[in-house]
Structure 1
């Protein structure tokens, strides 16, 4: 019986290569990489159409053109998109706005700040900047309790066909009160014009009715115009030559349940007579001198 090695099949010496009886079989390492020379699976082989498609973000492929939105072709926005002259104009405008804003903040700060070296040296300039447009009224946030009723009265000297005569005192504040009562939406003029005008006058004059600055003249003109507007609503049968204004102040009476004794006797502050000029009349009105003639 021939042995296995004596069969004339296969190898260089006519023997079939069999296992070496003395060799130890090896176990393949599961972590070892696959042989790169091995053929890939058919499902992983890219088709011809896929291999020719361009890679996103590159300029290769059938199209040959890169995506739009390239950094070099993007249009500029904002000030960078303007021409040089417009850029200069915009920069100058922004600089002016910033300078005015900083100046406004500084002036208002100095106006409301306590007295200091800067306000003592430049107080007049600060006041000219602030008044009257940026006047601060802190009573809006912390109003004083109402303890007095203040009414503004006026009387006029009329020149008519029968000579001159003086009208009785007319309560302008009372007329404003009548217009407000029962009105669900009273106007700002009815509520505040006369009251704020009188407060403006008191704050710019001393107890002898002498103006304490430029605001004194302005407040006097304001009161005179308000008075002439109110008198223009009445027909006195002649021309208003002079006017006189006074204030009536009464303390608010104590409530019925209170034992506090408060005098409600009025006190008056009477202003001098003012000659009516053309500047005191409403727009479109004739001069009193011309009307009298």
Structure 2
């Protein structure tokens, strides 16, 4: 009978020999036990290593079950909320502005009369309109603003000047000037128009709350003009008159007659010389 040791290489051992099989089993068991004792115990806190089955295969990424909202997303939501709030406020302010401007330029009606005070408070002085929306009113007359001054000299005497044509001075700066100043074109004209609209032509009494403001504004313009002409703080008072001439027809045979509206003397204030 051939022993397991006598078996040729590459040939299985003789299965008929129980001792041979038992010996092989014993040797296998001993080897497995030794390998198990030698391998380290798995760490429950460390995830098992994962080896890709193929080259180029990506490892799985653990995704948390409850994901918090990123800070960038929270910030973006707050910015959108604030932007929406400002947009709503801008729309409301725009609607209110359009409403008051419409009442200001529209023909007189019951609504514009009821909200006349509120409209004036909103429109003046920054949003004033000098044209009518449905009924434009072109200029039908020319006016020239003229002024006088009273100056107290160092010896106590008071000197009254003649009439100075302030509108004529502005026209001299405009004619022949390629880039005329807006102040020369509009300041005197607009100042007088505002004053005339806010005062009664008969007794110069103020109409509404804008009367004193328009008077101070016109007085300061005149004081500054006299200062530019050489008058100093000895300027005690000024007086204004307006020469109005209707615009006649081209084929008129006679010249239109000029009318004058003369105001009283206005005493100067320290703020007028700023």
| TM-score in terms of structure 2 length | 0.65
Contact 1:153–1:172 (CA<8 Å) still a contact in 2?
yes
| 1:270 matches 2:262 | yes
What is the CA–CA distance in structure 1 between the aligned matches of 2:135 and 2:117, rounded to whole Å?
27
Distance 1:125 1:84, change over 3 A: same
**Structure 1 segments unaligned to the other structure (5+ residues):** 1-60, 66-78, 284-293
Report deviation, 1:154.
0.5
Report deviation, 1:173.
0.6
1:277-288 matched pairs, under 5 angstroms? 277-281=269-273, 283=274
Contact 2:107–2:135 (CA<8 Å) still a contact in 1?
no
Q: What does residue 201 of structure 1 align with?
A: 195
1:179 aligned to 166, 173, 176, which one? 173
Report deviation, 1:64.
5.9
What is the CA–CA distance in structure 1 between the aligned matches of 2:56 and 2:228, rounded to whole Å?
86
Contact 1:245–1:272 (CA<8 Å) still a contact in 2?
yes
Q: Deviations over 1:28-54 (max 9, x none)?
A: xxxxxxxxxxxxxxxxxxxxxxxxxxx
CA RMSD of aligned residues (A): 3.0
What is the CA–CA distance in structure 1 between the aligned matches of 2:243 and 2:73, rounded to whole Å?
66
What is the CA–CA distance in structure 2 between the aligned matches of 1:246 and 1:222, rounded to whole Å?
15
Q: What does residue 225 of structure 1 align with?
A: 220
Q: What does residue 101 of structure 1 align with?
A: 94
Identify the structure with the greater helix proportion.
2
Report deviation, 1:62.
7.7
1:165-176 matched pairs, under 5 angstroms? 165-176=159-170
1:1-80 matched pairs, under 5 angstroms? none
Count of aligned residue pairs for this structure pair? 206
**Structure 2 segments unaligned to the other structure (5+ residues):** 1-53, 59-71
| 1:244 matches 2:236 | no
Report deviation, 1:110.
3.4
Report deviation, 1:253.
5.8
What is the CA–CA distance in structure 2 between the aligned matches of 1:97 and 1:217, rounded to whole Å?
33
What is the CA–CA distance in structure 2 between the aligned matches of 1:154 and 1:105, rounded to whole Å?
39
What is the CA–CA distance in structure 1 between the aligned matches of 2:75 and 2:57, rounded to whole Å?
33
Contact 2:131–2:137 (CA<8 Å) still a contact in 1?
no
Report deviation, 1:171.
0.6
Q: Deviations over 1:176-230 (max 9, x none)?
A: 1111122111111111111111111111111121110122112111111110111
Distance 1:135 1:171, change over 3 A: same
